[in-house]
């Protein structure tokens, strides 16, 4: 009888060790399959469409509005990755290849023009060896939306299309490479689902990183909203510091990032970070729910682009209310949620800005 009891106890310990009874391991796996991988797949598909769109536009089989729409889709998919920016895309400065922001000195325009002056028939290899400033979506946005350019004009189209197509191909290849690394046998997705591994000693570390990345993304959204509002410039609006001022998509991008942050919190089947709170922490969960709802509703109520809202007092008041709401959401998760889950948030990339 003692022998059978010992075997049963050891079997129970083995099951716990495999993560079958580990709520954090379950949440990490559920978020990986239900939220994170779908976001990376959407990004890859949006970049595939971006490259296809650039080729079609430059070949004359698609118009400028269609090219712009494909860009907005790629930009939105990239924005949606911000709350899950971990693994290979968060390493090796790869994110700079996708978006160069803030561009305080208009480096995008200057470097694009300098590059094309030196290499008018730009190749993919030329772009790969060029600065990250000209490799990503910010440069692509400049080509399609800058008020001083008009790619409907044959001469300008001939000048800028080699770069447009090269950026499209570069983004498509980068997204495919990142997704392949996520889905590899011992890639990031696998590391978020079975412990221990080279990246995470246990599920506590995985959940801690997921929360840190989410909190950092919310802090980043505050910066992307606060910079053009003048929060870092004594209240003087700086509309050209907006993340996507040329395409007037700054608020849409904020919404895409916020949506995936909330999805990480809820999960696709109430199996997100929220589910790790105990019953006696339910009130905190309700306050975070309410904070997400408040920020989401304030954002949805803004019916003009960011640049227009900055131009009048009523618009600036609405933006300040949105910023304050976003700040409450960020602080709730950075302090109270982190404490409730036993996570040390520590330094993030936006500290000091």
The pLDDT value given to residue 253: 98
**Among 258, 256, 260, 224, residue whose Cα is nearest residue 243:** 224
DSSP string, 97-155: HH-----TT-HHHHHHHHHHHH-TT--HHHHHTS-GGGTSHHHHHHHHH-TT--TTSHH
How far is residue 130's CA from residue 55's CA, in Å, rounded to a whole number?
21
Judged by DSSP in three states, 352 sits in coil
151: tokens are 């790619």
Q: Which structural domain, as residue segments, surrounds residue 317?
A: 203-341
Note whether 346 and 212 are within 8 A (CB).
yes
Specify the number of domains making up the chain: 2
The pLDDT value given to residue 119: 94
Distances (CA, A) of 188 to 27, 32, 86, 182, 201: 15, 9, 9, 5, 14
How far is residue 98's CA from residue 197's CA, in Å, rounded to a whole number?
29
CA atoms within 13 A on the CB side of 289: 13
In terms of domains, do 66 and 131 share one?
A: yes
By CB neighbour count within 10 A (0-12 exposed, 13-18 middle, 19+ buried), where does 301 fall?
Answer: exposed
In terms of domains, do 79 and 175 share one?
A: yes
In terms of domains, do 67 and 109 share one?
A: yes
Note whether 243 and 236 are within 8 A (CB).
no
Tens-digit pLDDT string for the chain (353 aa)? 445 444 444 444 444 444 356 999 999 999 999 999 999 999 999 999 999 999 999 999 999 999 999 999 999 999 999 999 999 999 888 999 999 999 989 999 999 999 999 999 899 899 999 999 999 999 999 999 999 999 999 999 999 999 999 999 999 999 999 999 999 999 999 999 999 999 999 999 999 999 999 999 999 999 999 999 999 778 899 999 999 999 999 999 999 999 999 999 999 999 999 999 999 999 999 999 999 999 999 999 999 999 999 999 999 999 999 999 999 999 999 999 999 999 998 754 444 34
Helix H or strand E encompassing 308: helix 306-310
In terms of domains, do 95 and 240 share one?
A: no
In terms of domains, do 30 and 147 share one?
A: yes
Of 160, 191, 222, the residue that ends a domain is 191
The pLDDT value given to residue 235: 82
Domain with 91 in it: what CATH number?
A: 1.20.1420.20
Of 142, 168, 191, the residue that ends a domain is 191
Note whether 281 and 223 are within 8 A (CB).
no
In terms of domains, do 260 and 185 share one?
A: no
The pLDDT value given to residue 233: 78
351: tokens are 């500290």
**Among 107, 143, 123, 142, residue whose Cα is nearest residue 244:** 142
Residue 197 lies in a domain: no
How far is residue 57's CA from residue 64's CA, in Å, rounded to a whole number?
7
């Amino acid at each position: 009888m003692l022998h059978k009891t010992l075997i049963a106890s050891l079997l129970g310990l083995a099951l716990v060790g495999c993560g079958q009874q580990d709520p954090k391991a379950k949440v990490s796996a559920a978020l990986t399959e239900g939220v994170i991988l779908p976001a990376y797949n959407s990004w890859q598909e949006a970049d595939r469409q971006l490259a296809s769109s650039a080729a079609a536009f430059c070949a004359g089989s698609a118009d400028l509005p269609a090219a712009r729409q494909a860009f907005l889709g790629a930009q939105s998919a990239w924005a949606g990755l911000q709350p899950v920016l971990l693994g290979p895309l968060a390493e090796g400065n790869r994110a700079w290849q996708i978006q160069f922001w803030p561009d305080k000195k208009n480096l995008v325009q200057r470097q694009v023009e300098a590059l094309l002056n030196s290499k008018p028939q730009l190749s993919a290899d030329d772009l790969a060896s060029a600065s990250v400033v000209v490799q990503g979506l910010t440069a692509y946005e400049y080509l399609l939306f800058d008020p001083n350019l008009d790619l409907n004009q044959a001469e300008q189209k001939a000048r800028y299309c080699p770069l447009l197509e090269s950026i499209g191909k570069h983004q498509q290849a980068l997204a495919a490479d990142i997704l392949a690394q996520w889905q590899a046998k011992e890639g990031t997705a696998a590391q978020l689902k079975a412990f221990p591994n080279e990246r995470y000693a246990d599920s506590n570390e995985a959940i801690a990183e997921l929360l840190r990345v989410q909190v950092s993304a919310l802090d980043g959204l505050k910066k992307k909203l606060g910079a053009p509002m003048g929060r870092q410039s004594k209240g003087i609006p700086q509309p050209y510091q907006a993340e996507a001022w040329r395409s007037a998509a700054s608020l849409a991008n904020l919404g895409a990032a916020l949506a995936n942050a909330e999805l990480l919190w809820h999960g696709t089947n109430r199996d997100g970070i929220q589910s790790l709170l105990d019953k006696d922490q339910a009130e905190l969960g309700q306050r975070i729910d309410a904070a997400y709802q408040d920020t989401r509703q304030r954002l949805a109520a803004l019916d003009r682009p960011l640049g227009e809202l900055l131009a009048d007092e009523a618009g600036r008041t609405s933006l300040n209310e949105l910023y304050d709401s976003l700040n409450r959401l960020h602080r709730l998760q950075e302090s109270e949620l982190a404490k409730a889950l036993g996570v040390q948030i520590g330094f993030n990339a936006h500290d000091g800005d």
